[in-house]
């Protein structure tokens, strides 16, 4: 167990359920949400001087910023995973087909016309 924690990031679960260390995009989303929450709450308070409502606005800022950051990061992450899979397939095919007619990096030869002129 100690070796696992040294090798990987020690898990840290928000509300006991969300592991922000190991879940891709979770940490960034929560941090962006915290920043958005503070920004929204402070700006609203400066504009209106209403304390309780500022907390409400701050929380709404947290909710929306976290959600937005999460979706943006996850969509980008999904696209990267697709690219990674394509690259892996390409590397595998290159290794298997190198030097053969199926080599994807081989330049097609321009064939000279054969036969009687």
Partner 1 sequence: MAHPSQLGFQDAASPVMEELLHFHDHALMIVFLISTLVLYIIVAMVTTKLTNKFILDSQEIEIIWTLLPAIILILIALPSLRILYLMDEINDPHLTIKAMGHQWYWSYEYTDYEDLGFDSYMIPTQDLTPGQFRLLETDHRMVIPVESPIRVLVSAEDVLHSWAVPSLGVKMDAVPGRLNQTAFITSRPGVFYGQCSEICGANHSFMPIVVEAVPLEHFENWSFIMLQDA
CA 16 to chain centre: 23
Nearer to partner 1, 94 or 106 (CB): 94
Does 62 contact partner 1 by CB under 8 A? yes
Q: 51-97 and 26-48 are packed helices; what angle lies between their axes, rounded to 10 degrees?
A: 150
Tokens of residue 48, six digits? 């209106």
Binding-site size for partner 1 (CB under 8 A) equals: 21
In sequence order, what are the residues at sequence separation of 6 or more whose Cβ sits closer than 8 angstroms to the Cβ of residue 31?
none
Binding segment for partner 1 among 38-46, 63-71, 99-107, 109-117 (CB under 8 A)?
63-71
Which residue ranges make up the site for partner 1 (CB under 8 A)? 14-15, 17-19, 23-24, 26, 29, 52, 56, 59, 62-63, 66-67, 70, 74, 78, 81, 85
């Amino acid at each position: 167990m100690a070796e696992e924690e040294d090798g990987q990031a020690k898990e840290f679960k928000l509300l006991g359920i969300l592991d922000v260390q190991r879940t891709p995009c979770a940490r960034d989303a929560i941090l962006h949400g915290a920043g958005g929450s503070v920004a929204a709450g402070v700006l609203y308070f400066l504009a209106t001087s209403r304390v309780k409502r500022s907390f409400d606005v701050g929380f709404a800022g947290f909710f929306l910023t976290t959600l937005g950051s999460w979706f943006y990061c996850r969509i980008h992450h999904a696209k990267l995973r697709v690219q990674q899979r394509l690259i892996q397939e390409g590397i595998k095919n290159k290794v298997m087909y190198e030097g053969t007619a199926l080599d994807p990096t081989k330049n097609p030869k321009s064939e000279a016309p054969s036969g009687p002129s």
